[in-house]
Amino acid sequence: MKIKSVHSWLSHLPLTKAYTIAYKTITDTEVVFLEITLENGMSGIGAANPFVDVVGETPQHTLANLQSGYLDQIIGKDIRFFNEIIDQACLHFPKQPGTIAAIDIALHDLFGKSMNMSVLDFYGTKIKALPTSVTIGIKETKEMLMDAEEYFKLGFKILKIKTGLDVDADIERVRSITEKFSSKMLVRVDANQGYSLDDLKKFISHTEASTLELIEQPVKTGQESILQSLDIADRKKIVADESLLDARSAWQFSLPPQSFGVYNIKLMKSGGIKGAREIATIAKNADIDLFWGCNDESIVSITAALHAAYSCSNTKYLDLDGSFDLAKDLVEGGFELKDGYMYPSSLPGLGIKKID
């Protein structure tokens, strides 16, 4: 079960529709794919598309790292020692989570296939299937309501609304959506660092009557301590995203007094499944819930995140809609979406296959 070859490439994947967040408008995504093949012809696929604004790495950096010649040294290594290969890659590519994610995911997929078991079965299922939220970008209230109605008809139970440009408009939009859908759909918001503390307090006080579940990354990174002026009950609903990059930051934010009650784990920040599970362990010991998020990603990395999420007992929320709006992907399979709930494939590895 030795590795025979590695191959990486970058694909431009357009979105079916553009959307706006607090600091930019997104129309497409660039995904780096990595395929690792064994001597018996079996192969595993990884994928990565890190956001430079968050982790300082672009897909172009990821591709350059994967094609730098470093991966030549894993040729001839036994896939059963995949964890050691990941550890060595982390040392060679520090603070390059996109690069590590591609390697980590491809190795997990290939290891599972070689053992004829799914990645989730390898780690063990800890929770039942959960519904994922589906995201609506910043737009006028009328358009948000139309999008929400469409998603409701498709069976989704949770909306995530992008906010952060205008707190008064955000309050009005949340009120309108929660009033229309009442108990039919839960609502989360993601401010993408767009609020001041005063904005946040105003937003919280004016949406108390709404079915608002969570508030994701309301303030800028580096300003996390100002959240400690909020009531504990409010802090329990605050999700760390851009502030939470790796196990080190997870540990720092776990120390009392905690600014966040929930951690948003993204494989593009953590460096794949192994790094994500390290964050999850820290969070569990600090009584912090897990929220699994994503960028606009291929089914490859979305599926990897889903397997990791269901292997952690403190997982409470999913926001793994990153592949839903891709106009095309290079793989299929991985999971089934039914009435908003995500069910991972039980096939070996990640249960994905390349589209011919």
Last residue of a domain, one of 91, 116, 141: 116
Q: What percent of the chain has pLDDT over 70?
A: 97
Tokens 């990603």 -> residue? 297
Q: Quick check: 145 and 139 in contact, CB under 8 A?
A: no
Cβ-contact 309, 277 below 8 angstroms? no
Shared domain check, 131 and 111? no
Decide which of 116, 144, 171 is a domain's last residue: 116
**d(Cα 130, Cα 198) in Å, to the nearest integer?**
34
222 DSSP 8-state letter: T
Question: Does the pLDDT at position 341 exceed 80?
Answer: yes
- The answer to whether 351 and 120 are in contact (CB under 8 A) is no
d(CA 17, CA 216): 23
Residues 102 and 140 in one domain: no
Q: pLDDT tens, 257-309?
A: 999 999 999 999 999 999 999 999 999 999 999 999 999 999 999 999 999 99
- Give the H/E segment covering residue 206: helix 197-206
Summarize the confidence of residues 90-113 as an average pLDDT. Answer: 98
d(CA 156, CA 337): 10
Specify whether 246 is located in the same domain as 319.
yes
Among candidate residues 74, 91, 116, the one where a domain is terminated: 116
- Residue 22 pLDDT grade (very low, low, confident, very high; cuts 50, 70, 90): low
- DSSP letter assigned to residue 258: P
Question: What's the CATH code of the domain at 98?
Answer: 3.30.390.10
Handedness of CA 170, 290, 47, 222 (dihedral sign): positive
Total number of domains in the chain = 2
Prediction pTM value: 0.95
Which residues constitute the domain of residue 202?
121-354
